Amino acid sequence: MHTFIVIDDEYLVRKGLIKKIQSFEQELVLLGEAENGEDALELIGQTDPDLILTDMRMPVMDGKSLLRVMQERYPLKKIIVISGHADFEYMQEAISARVVSYVLKPFSREEIHQALRKAIDSLASERAAKQQAALSKSENEAMIRQLDQQKLLHLILDEQTGKPVSFHSEQMNRFGAASFYVLLTVYSSTQINPDLFAAGIHEDFISVPHPVNEHLVFVVFASYERVSYKGMDTSFAFLYADQLFETLREIPYNRVFAGLSAAKSNMAELYQAQKECLSAMNSKGIMDYGSIIVYNAEDRPSEMPLWNKTGDLMFYLEAGHSSKVRESVVDFITFYMQLPSATLFQLKHQCQELAAEIKQLLGLRLPDTAYQTTSSSMEAVLNTSFDPEEIRQYFMNVLPDLAELLKDSTPYSSPNVIDNVKVYIHRNYLQDLTLEKVSSLFFMNSSYLSFLFKEKTGENFTDFINKLRIEHAKTLLKTTDDKVYIIAGALGFDNEKYFFRLFKKSTGLTPEAYRNQP
Q: Is the pLDDT of residue 49 over 70?
A: yes
pLDDT at 4 over 90: yes
Q: Is the pLDDT of residue 139 over 70?
A: no
Answer whether residue 11 shows pLDDT above 80: yes
Number of neighbours of residue 11 by Cβ within 10 angstroms: 10
Domain definitions of the chain by residue range: 2-130, 147-294, 310-407, 417-516
Q: At what angle do helices 344-365 and 270-282 cross, to 10 degrees?
A: 100
Please report how many Cα atoms fall inside a 13 Å half-sphere around the Cα of residue 271, on the Cβ side: 12
Dmax (CA) of the chain: 98
Beta strand 216-223 pairing with 205-209: antiparallel
Q: Does domain 2-130 have CATH number 1.10.3720.10?
A: no
Per-residue confidence (pLDDT) for residue 331, from 0 to 100 = 95
Q: Do the beta carbons of residue 177 and residue 225 sit within 8 Å?
A: no
Q: CATH topology for 147-294?
A: Alpha-Beta Plaits (3.30.70)
Can you spell out the DSSP letters for 412-475?
A: ---SSHHHHHHHHHHHHTTS---HHHHHHHTT--HHHHHHHHHHHHSS-HHHHHHHHHHHHHHH
Arithmetic mean of pLDDT over the chain: 85
Segment among 42-46, 212-216, 366-370 with least mean pLDDT: 366-370
CATH class for the domain made up of 417-516: mainly alpha
Is 388 within 8 Å of 347 (Cβ atoms)?
Answer: yes
Short-list 212, 234, 228, CA closest to 220: 234
Band of the pLDDT at 247, cuts 50, 70, 90? confident
The whole-number pLDDT of residue 228 equals 61
| pLDDT score of 367 | 62
Estimate to the nearest angstrom the gap between the alpha carbon of 282 and the chain centroid.
14
What's the rounded Cα separation, in Å, for the pair 105 and 102?
Answer: 10
Give the 3-state secondary structure of 352-388.
HHHHHHHHHHHHHHCCCCHHHHHHHHHHHHHHHCCCH
Closest CA to 344 of 281, 402, 299: 281
**pTM of the full predicted structure?**
0.64
Secondary structure (H, E, C), 276-313: HHHHHHHCCECCCCCCEEECCCCCCCCCCCCCCCHHHH
pLDDT band for 323, please (50, 70, 90 cuts).
very high
Cis previous bond, 164, omega within 30:
no
User: What is the C-alpha to C-alpha distance for residues 349 and 303, in angstroms, rounded to an integer?
Assistant: 12
pLDDT at 248: 81
Q: Does residue 452 have a pLDDT over 90?
A: yes
> What average pLDDT does the segment 110-133 reach?
82
Q: Which residues pair with 208 in a beta bridge?
A: 218
Residues whose CB is less than 8 angstroms from the CB of residue 413 and which lie 6 or more positions away in sequence, other chains included = 420
Contacts of 103 (CB under 8 A, 6+ apart): 80, 81, 82, 83, 111, 112, 115
Give the C-alpha separation, 24 to 109, whole Å: 9
The pLDDT value given to residue 136: 64
As to burial, measured by CB atoms within 10 angstroms (0-12 exposed, 13-18 middle, 19+ buried), residue 511 is buried
* pLDDT tens profile 256-269: 899 999 999 888 89
Q: How many CB atoms lie within 10 A of CB 435?
A: 17
Choose from 163-177, 231-245, 382-396 the range with maximum mean pLDDT.
382-396
Task: Check if the beta carbon of residue 212 is closer than 8 Å to that of residue 153.
Answer: no
Residue 133 has pLDDT above 50, yes or no: no
Most confidently predicted of 147-161, 292-306, 463-477: 463-477
Query: Is 182 within 8 Å of 260 (Cβ atoms)?
Result: yes
pLDDT higher at 381 or 14: 14
Between residues 264 and 149, which one has the greater pLDDT?
264
The answer on pLDDT for 25 being more than 50 is yes
What pLDDT, on the 0 to 100 scale, is given for residue 195?
Answer: 66
Q: Residue 38: which pLDDT band, with cuts at 50, 70 and 90?
A: very high
- Considering only CA atoms, give the Rg of the chain: 29
Q: Is the pLDDT of residue 29 over 70?
A: yes
Q: How far apart are CA 353 and CA 350, in angstroms?
A: 5
Distances (CA, A) of 357 to 310, 324, 327, 379, 420: 9, 18, 19, 12, 21
> 137-157 vs 270-282: helix axis angle to the nearest 10?
60
Q: Is the pLDDT of residue 244 over 90?
A: no
The pLDDT value given to residue 93: 62
- Element (H or E) spanning 79, and its range? strand 78-83
Contact between 290 and 251 (Cβ < 8 Å) = no
- Is pLDDT at 135 greater than 60 in this prediction? no
Question: Tell me: the pLDDT tens digits for 189-206?
Answer: 888 776 666 555 567 888
